[in-house]
Amino acid sequence: MNKKIIALSVFLLLMVSSAVAIVRVNVYISSSIDGRIPYFNIPAEVNNTPQSFLVVWENTGSVGCRFRLRADIYEIINSTKRQIYTSWSEEIPIEPGAQENLVAYWYPKSPGNFTVHTFIYYCNSIEDGPTGNFTVLKSNITTRAPFDVKTESTESYVEFRFNSREDINDLVIIPREYPLGWIFDSKRMGGIEKGREKIVRVNYEASIWKERNVSFDIVTLDGKFYKQERITLRKKREFPVYHAIIVILVVVIIILSIMLIRYRKRGVELGDREGSNGNSGSR
Class of domain 35-137: mainly beta
**pLDDT the model gives residue 213:** 96
Domains 35-137 and 143-232 share a fold: yes
Concatenated DSSP letters of 218-258:
EEETTSSEEEEEEEE--------HHHHHHHHHHHHHHHHHH
**pLDDT the model gives residue 21:** 42
- The model's pTM is 0.74
Residue 201 amino acid letter:
R
Is 70 exceeded by the pLDDT of residue 163? yes
**pLDDT the model gives residue 1:** 53
According to DSSP, residue 89 is labeled P
Q: Biggest alpha carbon distance in the chain?
A: 129
- Per-residue pLDDT tens over the stretch 175-211: 999 999 999 999 999 999 999 999 999 999 999 999 9
249 Cβ neighbours under 8 A, 6+ residues apart? none
The sheet that has 213-220: what strands, in order across it? 143-144, 225-232, 213-220, 168-177, 187-192
- Per-residue pLDDT tens over the stretch 12-61: 555 545 444 434 444 445 688 899 999 999 999 999 899 999 999 999 99
Is 60 exceeded by the pLDDT of residue 67? yes
Tell which CATH classification among 3.40.50.300, 3.30.540.10, 2.60.40.10, 3.40.50.920 matches the domain 143-232: 2.60.40.10
Q: In percent, how much of the chain has pLDDT > 70?
A: 78
**For the chain, domain boundaries:** 35-137, 143-232
